[in-house]
């Protein structure tokens, strides 16, 4: 099989794997997630891949992450639980508007009042320009 149908099947397979890993983590790591939600110093590093940050909760579908979650889905952290959210070279890989809007909404939801979100992208001018032009 080749062409658009093959591409669609590969994407569907990947999405099913991501969904399964995300759900599996939510079920198997309930205790760890509850402990994280009880912390007062929660700092989240979504999209960490294998570039783990010490002192942060590294969240990614990558096996090296502390929590293997799909950041395009609801985050298992309580409202106002994190003092910081840092995403480096993740935002440009999210689909717009759906996944980017969801990511920003989740970051806002979990941040404490006065908490901060720091995004790093390789070409900020390009992304801001595309946003302004609704591209």
pTM of the model as a whole: 0.86
pLDDT digits (tens, 9 = 90+) for 48-95: 999 999 999 999 999 999 999 999 999 999 999 999 999 998 988 888
Each residue's pLDDT tens digit, 8-43:
999 999 999 999 999 999 999 999 999 999 999 999
The two most distant CA atoms of the chain are separated, in Å, by 52
The verdict on whether omega for the bond into residue 97 sits within 30 degrees of 0, i.e. cis, is yes
Tokens, residue 39 = 């912390």
CA nearest neighbour of 61 among 102, 16, 118, 115: 16
Terminal Cα-to-Cα distance of the chain (whole angstroms): 33
What is the pLDDT at residue 1? 61
């Amino acid at each position: 099989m080749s062409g658009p149908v093959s591409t669609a099947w590969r994407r569907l397979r990947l999405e099913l794997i991501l969904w399964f890993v995300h759900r599996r983590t939510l079920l198997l790591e309930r205790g760890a997630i509850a402990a994280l939600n009880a912390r007062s110093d929660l700092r989240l590093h979504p999209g960490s891949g294998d570039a783990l940050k010490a002192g942060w909760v590294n969240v990614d579908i990558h096996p090296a992450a502390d929590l293997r979650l799909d950041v395009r889905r609801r985050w298992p952290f309580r409202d106002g639980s994190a003092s910081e959210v840092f995403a480096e070279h993740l935002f440009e890989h999210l689909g717009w508007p759906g996944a980017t809007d969801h990511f920003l909404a989740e970051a806002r939801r979990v941040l404490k009042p006065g908490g901060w979100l720091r995004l790093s992208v390789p070409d900020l001018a390009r992304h801001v320009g595309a946003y302004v032009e609704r591209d």
